[in-house]
Chains A and B, each alone.
Chain A
Amino acid sequence: MNPHVILRVVAKMLIPLIALFAFYVQFHGDFGPGGGFQAGVIFASSIILYALIFGMAAAKKAMPPSWVRIGMSLGVLLYGGTGVATWLLGGNFLDYTRFAPESTHAAGQHWGIFSVELGVLCTVACAMLAIFYAFGSRVQDLSDEDW
């Protein structure tokens, strides 16, 4: 029997919950503690937990390093692109009110911050994973007999 069977069963239950909690922190950031950075770290930690328990190869299959590289730059593009979009709408860089200038309850601010935070989530999660993959890939996986 696999020596890590308890850890694997519990991790299987927890990993989806951790990823879901990351999105809760992301989308609840307007009303409570949270935001893109924290959500990104939590999401990355769910995949790091997967890598620690099921091995690096399985994690790289679930979240390929090529996706991680694309995700890192995609987040920055989303953040910068929001700023450029407000330029094109005739305002300053990241002048969110331009998205809905007629709104009386700051809907433009809401959408602007939403897309910027989404960019932060994407970049932070992928950067954390990139760092983990870079360090984790330097040594061979320890087999169970070694320790």
Chain B
Amino acid sequence: MTLEIIQLVVSGAFLISGVFFVLAGAVGVLRLPDFYTRMHAAGMTDTLGAEFIIFGLMVQAGFTQTSLKLFLIAFLLFLTSPTASHAVADAAHHAGLKPLLGKFRAPNPAEVKANKVEKH
């Protein structure tokens, strides 16, 4: 009986924090100013939000085959979604899209490439 209550509370906590991250990601995608910051918010949704929700479901399923399958899905998401975010952001950086910045100016990829050529 107490074990079931603990299971329920732990899985509920995981699910609620997962929903929080998904909501934060959704707000971020809508409200943040430029591509990179939006990418950051969307990546957060995929990794942390989905991961927490799956862990909550795993706790609810207990030590069963379903739980193992959920763990494999979580592992796959943990590998793929940051990689996908990285690939998209890297492609945008290579294409020369500049991030929207305040005081600090990041080096322009085109200039960095030109400087490297000069040094050699």
| Chain A interfacial positions (CB closer than 8 Å to B) | 3, 6-7, 10, 13-14, 17, 147
B90→A14 contact, CB < 8 A: no
A10 to B87, CA, bound (A): 11
B90→A10 contact, CB < 8 A: no
Q: Can you spell out 18 A-B residue pairs with CB atoms less than 8 angstroms apart? A: A3-B90, A3-B94, A6-B83, A6-B86, A7-B83, A7-B86, A7-B87, A10-B79, A10-B80, A10-B83, A13-B79, A14-B76, A14-B79, A14-B80, A17-B76, A147-B91, A147-B94, A147-B95
A17 to B95, CA, bound (A): 32
A7 to B89, CA, bound (A): 13
A7 to B90, CA, bound (A): 11
Main secondary structure of the interface of B (DSSP, over half): helix
Contact with A along B64-83 (1 / 0, CB 8 A): 00000000000010011001
For A3, list chain B residues within 8 Å (CB).
90, 94
| Chain B interfacial positions (CB closer than 8 Å to A) | 76, 79-80, 83, 86-87, 90-91, 94-95
A50 to B83, CA, bound (A): 15
Main secondary structure of the interface of A (DSSP, over half): helix
Minimal beta-carbon separation of B78 from chain A (angstroms)? 11
For B76, list chain A residues within 8 Å (CB).
14, 17
For B91, list chain A residues within 8 Å (CB).
147
For A14, list chain B residues within 8 Å (CB).
76, 79-80
For A17, list chain B residues within 8 Å (CB).
76
A18 to B79, CA, bound (A): 13
A6 to B88, CA, bound (A): 12
A6 to B91, CA, bound (A): 13
CB nearest to A144 among chain B residues: B94
Minimal beta-carbon separation of A56 from chain B (angstroms)? 19
A7 to B94, CA, bound (A): 15
